[in-house]
Amino acid sequence: MATNTKQLLKSHSLRITPFREQVLQLFIDESAAISSRKIQDELEDADRITIYRTLKSFVDKGLVHEAFDGTDTPKYALCEDHCDEHAHHDQHVHFHCDKCDQTFCVEEVEVPYITTPQGFKVNSTNIVLKGKCESCNSK
């Protein structure tokens, strides 16, 4: 079944615009996480502010999440079905490939519960695995 961009935007209470559809399609087509630079390269007539706002609204509405990979460049990936505008539930680890610099969601691996010293409150846990991705590893 092909994923419908209009439907995804609608179900996340996002107004449908051609630009949002184009950006969302990039996320659907790409197995790795995407930086705003990459969106700019792919959609040549896009300016940085529009991309920034689009990504922010996608994150706010639970459509994409930041795929934290420990690099200076924030990258984003599509959320699983159960995220919405109220909360993200992306409790999986991310994998950063040192060779091709791509970042992947590893949804099979959940972030473990980590206990902290008394008085510390955890809001989010980011776990990054580093190494070679499948395609780099098979070269």
Closest C-alpha to 53, from 84, 23, 33: 23
Q: Does 28 bind Zn ion (CB under 5 A)?
A: no
Stretch that binds Zn ion, among 43-51, 52-60, 61-69, 117-125 (CB under 5 A): 61-69
Q: Does 12 bind Zn ion (CB under 5 A)?
A: no
Q: Is 124 left (phi over 0), alpha (psi -120 to 50) or beta?
A: beta
Q: Are 1 and 74 in contact (CB under 8 A)?
A: no
Q: Does 136 bind Zn ion (CB under 5 A)?
A: yes
Q: Does 9 bind Zn ion (CB under 5 A)?
A: no
Q: Does 6 bind Zn ion (CB under 5 A)?
A: no
Q: For Zn ion, give the closer residue by CB, 51 or 58.
A: 58
Residues of the shown chain interacting with Zn ion in the complex, contacts defined by CB under 5 A = 65, 67, 77, 79, 83, 88, 90, 97, 99-100, 105, 133, 136
